[in-house]
Amino acid sequence: MAESQVRGRADGRGPDRLRPLTIETGVLKFAEGSALIQCGDTRVLVAATVERRVPPFRLDSGLGWVTAEYSMLPRATHSRSQREVSRGRPSGRTSEIQRLIGRALRAAVDMSAMPGITVIVDCDVLQADGGTRTSAITGGYVALVEALGRLFLAGDLGRWPITQAVAAVSVGLSEDRPLLDLDYAEDSTAQVDFNVVATASGGVVEIQGTGEQRSFSRAELDALLDLAFAGLRQLFERQRSALAPILDSVDEVVQRGGRKRARPRPESELWGPPGDG
């Protein structure tokens, strides 16, 4: 059985195994939230920025907003890719991925708990070996929670806005076998591949699935989704572990009944006494 499990996987993983995964938080000095996620040889740096404003379509709504941007460094891949800024606009692929990341992260947040606040999640691929969008979502959630956690603990939010964890993973069929967490070589030759985004409560946020080389049956679809959700459960555990310090502090405040909103400081306190000069 062990021999059949490793067949076709260059790294020796079984078909139901994630690549080695690490999530490091607080990796950027200035960002309100940040994470470096490494999944196999894919590495994505994520920064969450808090802005005290919302897009025009959110004005007067009493709601906040979460959005994302995605980019890949020129040498994240085997050969150099042109910086998209030099082309004057993001590619269709980049636009599609950053919209996906934004939709996924918004599924984790109660926007009414962060009125007038936007969180921008920047996902920069340092090295790409398959699963960059799923890694960006999984790491993006961690950076988002860190940023909102700081706001909540500072008293800038009246209640905790995170409603549930969100993560993403890829699955696919290779030689008619379901595989979890495809690397680039597997993804580029897969007969069928899926990206599955879901919440820790089991809700599906989005499924992107394509028959690259052949169609797939309902039974194969079910098998791929079962495999994806098994992998997602592991990702949620890793997210919780990475966020344990800030989530413990948030839980402590929530158990006490929340934290009062910080009192706006009068202008005289902001500027201090006038100088002599």
pLDDT tens string 135-155: 999 999 999 999 999 999 999
Q: Are 69 and 99 in contact (CB under 8 A)?
A: no
Distance CA 73, CA 100 (A): 19
Determine if residue 174 is left, alpha or beta; phi over 0 gives left, psi from -120 to 50 gives alpha, anything else beta: beta
Residue 132: closest CA among 46, 190, 213: 46
Q: Parallel, antiparallel, or unpaired for β 21-25 and 33-39?
A: antiparallel
How much is the pTM? 0.89
In this prediction, residue 87 carries a pLDDT of 76
In this prediction, residue 4 carries a pLDDT of 40
Q: Which 8-state DSSP code applies to residue 109?
A: B
In this prediction, residue 79 carries a pLDDT of 87
Local structure of 274: helix, strand or coil = coil
Q: What is the DSSP string of 16-75?
A: T-PPPEEEEE--SSSSSEEEEEEETTEEEEEEEEEES---GGGTTTT--EEEEEEEE-TT
Regions of the chain where pLDDT drops below 70: 1-8, 258-277
In this prediction, residue 70 carries a pLDDT of 96
Q: Are 44 and 139 in contact (CB under 8 A)?
A: yes
